[in-house]
Amino acid sequence: MSEAVRPVSRERWLPAIAAVFVTSLIISNIVAVKLFSFGPVFLPAGTIVFPISYIFGDVLTEVYGYARARQVIWTGFACNLFAVVVILISIHLPPASIWDLLGSPAESQRAYSAIFNFAPRILGASFVAYLAGEFLNSFVLAKMKIATKGKYLWTRTIGSTLVGQLADSGIFISLAFTGIVPGGGIVSLIISQWLVKSAYEAVATPFTYIVVNFLKRTENLDHFDHNTNFSPIIWNARVSGERG
């Protein structure tokens, strides 16, 4: 009797997952200029959507592996950079004489610039924090998956987020606000952002389970990074050993 043919693994949903990841990243940076109160804590509006990039970053690594996640992380970085460049160019375009959203073209221009103009220090801090946080998140999840033999998904989604979000919040707040906010305030900002974003991920764990289980079943993929090169600066698409 001939051996049964194993279903071919697919990546039909990878573009959609990558699109959600990149979109949530870009949106979070655009709305981050707005600060809101969450009880006694002040947070940027990007907090409501940025953790989604970590959730889908977990999904990418868990299902498709670190190499695919690395590609999407760099794609997100490039798309975000492109968005920033276009926004900065748009700020310096001369306002049309009929553009009177706030009573006059000059007022409209000032408001537009105030909202969308990126401070170089904030922008640089955001880019560095994003890369460090996302790559740490993906690396920790991949390593924990091997250590747990693919069991206990919640431990690695939450554990990797605790590491990744701590790096992201710590780097961003430190680079962006050192010398502006007192030292104690820096620590408070880092801890509050870290806890809120990590709690967001923990609350979303049931949703993560649903998405991961759906993708593993429909894509016939469950990647284990046994032989993966974890360098963040290469672009290899795949290594052998997709299933544990």
DSSP 8-state class, residue 240: S
Sorting pLDDT into bands at 50, 70 and 90, what band is 240?
Answer: very low
| Averaged confidence pLDDT in the chain | 88
Helix or strand holding residue 72 (H, E):
helix 66-92
DSSP 8-state class, residue 181: B
* Bridge partners, residue 38, by sequence: 41
Give the span between the Cα atoms of 179 and 185, in whole angstroms. 11
Find the distance separating the first CA and the last CA of the chain, reported in whole Å. Answer: 26
Amino acid 242: pLDDT? 53
Amino acid 4: pLDDT? 44
Sorting pLDDT into bands at 50, 70 and 90, what band is 3?
Answer: very low
Q: What are the pLDDT digits (tens) for 36-90?
A: 887 877 777 888 888 899 999 999 999 999 999 999 999 999 999 999 999 999 9
- Model confidence, pTM: 0.88
Give the span between the Cα atoms of 72 and 70, in whole angstroms. 5
Q: Is the pLDDT of residue 148 over 90?
A: yes
Contacts with 113 (C-beta within 8 Å, 6 or more apart), sequence order: 91
CB neighbours of residue 224 within 10 Å: 17
Sorting pLDDT into bands at 50, 70 and 90, what band is 229?
Answer: very high
* Bridge partners, residue 222, by sequence: none
Q: Is the pLDDT of residue 151 over 90?
A: yes
| Complete domains list, the chain, with CATH | 14-219 (1.10.1760)
Which of 239 and 96 is assigned the larger pLDDT? 96
Q: Is the pLDDT of residue 239 over 70?
A: no
Q: What are the pLDDT digits (tens) for 88-119?
A: 999 999 999 888 877 789 999 998 998 888 77
Mean pLDDT, residues 207-216 = 96
